[in-house]
Amino acid sequence: MKSLKSFFHQSGKKEHSRPAHMTWAKSTVGRSVTRATLFLKQQLWIWPIIAVLLLSAIGFGTRTAIERTMKANLESGLKTILELETEMLLTLFKVQESTAETQARDLETRNYVYDLLAHTDGIVEAEALDDVELIRRKLSKSLAPVMSTHNYSGYFVADKKHEILASSEASLVGRKEVEAYESFLNTVFDDQTTVSPPFPSLVPLKTESGERRTGEPVMYVSAPIRDENFQVVAALAFQIRPEREFTRLLQLGRVGQSGETYAFNSEGLMISNSRFDHDLILLGLLPDEPGTRSLLKLQVRDPGGDMTAGYRPGRRRSEMPLTLMAASAIDGNSSSNVEGYNDYRGVPVIGAWNWLDDYDMGITTEVDVAQAYRPLVILQRTFMGLYVLLGISAIAIFVFTVIVAHLRQEARQAAVEAKQLGQYTLEEKIGAGAMGEVYRAYHSMLRRPTAVKMLNLDLVNEASIARFEREVQITCKLNNPHTVAIYDFGRTPEGVFYYAMEYLDGIDLQTLVERYGPQPEARVIHILKQMCSSLYEAHSQGLVHRDIKPANTMLNDRGGEPDTVKVLDFGLVKALDDEKQAKLSSAGTLTGTPLYMSPESIQTPHAIDARSDLYAVGAVGYFLLTGKPVFDAQSIVELCNMHVTVEPEPPSGKTSQPISEELENALLSCLEKSLAKRPQTARDLAILLDRSPFATEWSLNEAASWWRRHNREIHAESHRPLSEMGATQTDDSPAPSASENDEDGDSFDQTVIG
């Protein structure tokens, strides 16, 4: 058997049906948006969560933008400070170099140096020269004003062999190739004035406490001394104490409580003071001794964790890697990092650095990440506080909603149990459907029997209320005597939605055939013409029932008129001229009962019209005459396929009772696959039915006689409560329902009510 889909495709080729009012995608998206909107209106606690999500998105975007801006500003600020410090330091070095060069070119200084060189080279006899010591004293006296003016703490003069010819420190005279001096002496003898990075002194120097000891930080500014041929013959070096200008200058580059600027040499040794010397002593990075400083004592290495937060490394300092900054600078790079890296304490910092290749030292400016990004942390905490408040609000509203919903549910249930809905007193539950329940009731003042249809308490939401109200409004527009009448509509203070309609104590056509068998042709015509009367009014107002079937049609002995037909349940009705109403009915979904569905309601349910109802009327007449549906199938798919592709067998072939050709033709014309071949209106069908020779055979006397025989039985059955019946009465026919959407399949056609 071919699939249902393939048959629908084939049928679509055979007949060009009306264009659909909306595509599947449009319908699906529209329903999704509508349901989402209704859900949000009902579930107030969702809004704080939505607010949290929106705030999170805004916060993330804001934080990203602020962080990007902050990083750019921080990087710019660090580079500005670093460049300023570098320029100041270079200016200091240039001043020192200029001073040293000026003194190295001084004639008196050069003459003394020439005399020393002549003596050491053996150019003249010793007896012809002044005493060497006298020359050194004269040289020292000649240099004294310069040293005093520029705070130089000492000097020395060295020849090409790097032998010290004269010095303010007598212990240095005569020493050769002193390792600590080799680097800057090589530069000088390459005919270049230079300033050395700080290094430990080789001779005792006076400390701040007045003691004299070796290893104190010193640095030298050195300049070449040239002869008459401008050849470098000696080097003049002045000793500088770093803490007097060099370190003090770098200490100016401190930002906030954690920012600092310091220098380091090519070995990663700090050659200026840290601002955290006291903390470094407490951390064990510096010895706890009087006058201890980080200058020449601390290596710029990464311990691997924040030591100020309690981290203690498991290896020696010399085994640790250089910090990211130091490693990059020593490689000759001048760069910056605002993402964060560990400094010599293991504290996350951001920084910028320069490498001064001419002086073999690096300079860096660093700030703790915690200080640099404090505004961002404050912003994050603010957003987190808002998140927490909104989260608490969502929980509170949710709890409140649950409590209120529970109380409302209890109030509604109490109202039902009290058997009182407004002015209506409930008696017995006589029916149930997908959307609600039906009770036999009576008006408290009029004492009129009434059927009260009540919205299921478990389904009370905006969507169900809208559908419930729509069903009432549509049915109220219809005044035909063969359409169930609506009396009232209301909502109790407890929130129970209901409407009251005329109470019918007859029998539906499904039960009629099941209990009493196929009906005579004259009676079938009598019933179908009344159905046509009801549908003609509905169709004239642009309404299509969409679920005509035996169980939705009641036969009553009413107002002295036996065999009065009432068409029930316009809950699935489609308003052809109202797009919004069509959306409420979810047009585009398969709705109805498969045994009585027209081909187009299966293939293009959004494009059905009045002729689809006439197809169902023909199927109902077929069932009344034969006691059997038009098609018998083992599954819904097979049944739908037969409606679309299989020609029905004439009803005369399924029953032994005679059927007039006129009635058979009328029913088969209703069951045509093509809309154009069916009767175009319900009145056209009524005219076809009147052509039967038996159209007037079902007389009032015959109808009255039938009801006299069965009225007591039917009346007793209709007054039995649902709990006493063999099975729960629902709106479903014996065939399975084909509704793909619960909202579209909520029929209430009971065997005893409208």
Confidence of residue 578 (pLDDT cuts 50, 70, 90): very low
Q: Is the pLDDT of residue 364 over 80?
A: yes
pLDDT at 382: 80
The amino acid that residue 154 corresponds to is G
pLDDT at 389: 79
- Residue whose structure tokens are 């197809």: 615
Domain ranges of the chain: 106-244, 251-372, 433-502, 504-743
> pLDDT for 236-263, tens place per residue?
999 999 988 899 999 888 888 899 999 9
How many angstroms separate the CA atoms of 396 and 389, rounded? 10
State the average pLDDT over residues 491-504. 80
Confidence of residue 313 (pLDDT cuts 50, 70, 90): very high
Question: Greater confidence, 668 or 382?
Answer: 668
State the average pLDDT over residues 570-599. 58
State the average pLDDT over residues 263-277. 94
State the first-to-last Cα distance of the chain, in angstroms, to the nearest integer. 40
pLDDT at 306: 95
Q: Is the pLDDT of residue 107 over 90?
A: yes
- CATH number assigned to the domain covering 106-244: 3.30.450.20
Q: Which of 275, 270, 342, 350 is nearest to 309 (CA)?
A: 342
Q: Is the pLDDT of residue 528 over 70?
A: yes
Under 8 Å between Cβ of 115 and 166: no
Confidence of residue 500 (pLDDT cuts 50, 70, 90): confident
| Model confidence pTM above 0.75 | no
pLDDT at 433: 66
Q: Is the pLDDT of residue 745 over 60?
A: no
460, containing H or E segment: none
Q: Is the pLDDT of residue 11 over 60?
A: no
- Residue whose structure tokens are 């003049």: 236
Q: Is the pLDDT of residue 300 over 70?
A: yes
Q: Is the pLDDT of residue 397 over 90?
A: no
> pLDDT for 25-66, tens place per residue?
444 555 555 555 555 555 555 666 777 778 778 877 887 888
CATH architecture for residues 504-743: Orthogonal Bundle (1.10)
pLDDT at 101: 95
- Cα within 13 Å of Cα(315), Cβ side: 9
Under 8 Å between Cβ of 605 and 572: no
Under 8 Å between Cβ of 322 and 330: yes
Confidence of residue 384 (pLDDT cuts 50, 70, 90): confident
CA distances from 29 to 20, 32, 35, 317, 583 (A): 16, 5, 10, 66, 11
From the candidate CATH numbers 3.40.50.300, 3.30.200.20, 3.30.565.10, 3.40.50.10420, the one assigned to the domain spanning 433-502: 3.30.200.20
How many angstroms separate the CA atoms of 351 and 254, rounded? 12
- Residue ranges of alpha helices (H) inside 418-545 are 462-476, 509-516, 521-540
Q: Is the pLDDT of residue 507 over 80?
A: yes
Q: Which of 111, 235, 110, 239 is nearest to 161 (CA)?
A: 235
Question: Greater confidence, 706 or 436?
Answer: 706
Under 8 Å between Cβ of 587 and 21: yes
pLDDT at 424: 85
Q: Is the pLDDT of residue 16 over 70?
A: no
State the average pLDDT over residues 288-317. 92
DSSP classification of residue 259: -
Q: Is the pLDDT of residue 754 over 60?
A: no
Fold agreement (106-244, 251-372): yes
Under 8 Å between Cβ of 624 and 526: no
Question: Greater confidence, 315 or 505?
Answer: 315
> pLDDT for 444-479, tens place per residue?
888 888 988 877 666 666 666 777 677 777 778 888
Q: Is the pLDDT of residue 576 over 70?
A: no
How many angstroms separate the CA atoms of 437 and 453, rounded? 6
- Token duo for residue 596: 């009585």
Q: Is the pLDDT of residue 565 over 90?
A: yes
> pLDDT for 658-677, tens place per residue?
999 999 999 999 999 999 99
397, containing H or E segment: helix 374-417
pLDDT at 253: 84
Choose the weakest-confidence range: 19-28, 113-122, 145-154, 256-265: 19-28
Residues 6 or more apart whose Cβ sits within 8 Å of residue 34: 463, 583
pLDDT at 315: 92
State the average pLDDT over residues 370-390. 81
Q: Is the pLDDT of residue 494 over 80?
A: no
151 sits in the region (left: phi over 0; alpha: psi -120 to 50; else beta) called left
pLDDT at 406: 76
Q: Rounded mean pLDDT of the chain?
A: 82
How many angstroms separate the CA atoms of 86 and 81, rounded? 8
Q: Which of 27, 388, 93 is nearest to 250 (CA)?
A: 93
How many angstroms separate the CA atoms of 150 and 153, rounded? 9
pLDDT at 649: 94
Confidence of residue 583 (pLDDT cuts 50, 70, 90): very low
Residues 6 or more apart whose Cβ sits within 8 Å of residue 391: 48, 49, 52
Q: Which of 685, 623, 690, 682 is nearest to 651 (CA)?
A: 623
- Token duo for residue 733: 């026919």
How many angstroms separate the CA atoms of 103 and 193, rounded? 12
> pLDDT for 587-613, tens place per residue?
344 445 789 999 998 888 887 899 999
pLDDT at 121: 62
Q: Which of 156, 162, 160 is nearest to 176 (CA)?
A: 162
Give strand ranges (E) for 285-443. Answer: 335-342, 348-356, 361-368, 420-421, 424-432, 436-443
- Residue whose structure tokens are 């916060």: 59
How many angstroms separate the CA atoms of 306 and 262, rounded? 20
56, containing H or E segment: helix 46-105
How many angstroms separate the CA atoms of 14 and 29, rounded? 30
- Cα within 13 Å of Cα(124), Cβ side: 13
Residues 6 or more apart whose Cβ sits within 8 Å of residue 154: 147, 167, 168, 169, 238, 239
The amino acid that residue 34 corresponds to is T
State the average pLDDT over residues 500-516. 91
From the candidate CATH numbers 3.30.450, 1.20.58, 3.40.50, 3.30.1360, the one assigned to the domain spanning 251-372: 3.30.450
How many angstroms separate the CA atoms of 199 and 217, rounded? 5
pLDDT at 434: 60
State the average pLDDT over residues 520-546. 93
pLDDT at 357: 92
CA distances from 514 to 149, 507, 715, 734 (A): 128, 11, 17, 11
DSSP notation for 614-666: HHHHHHHHHHHHHSS-S---SSHHHHHHHHHHPPPPPGGGG-SS---HHHHHH
Percentage above 70 pLDDT, the chain: 81
Q: Which of 377, 91, 378 is nearest to 246 (CA)?
A: 91
Beta-bridged to residue 365, according to DSSP, are 261, 352
pLDDT at 421: 77
- Cα within 13 Å of Cα(137), Cβ side: 5
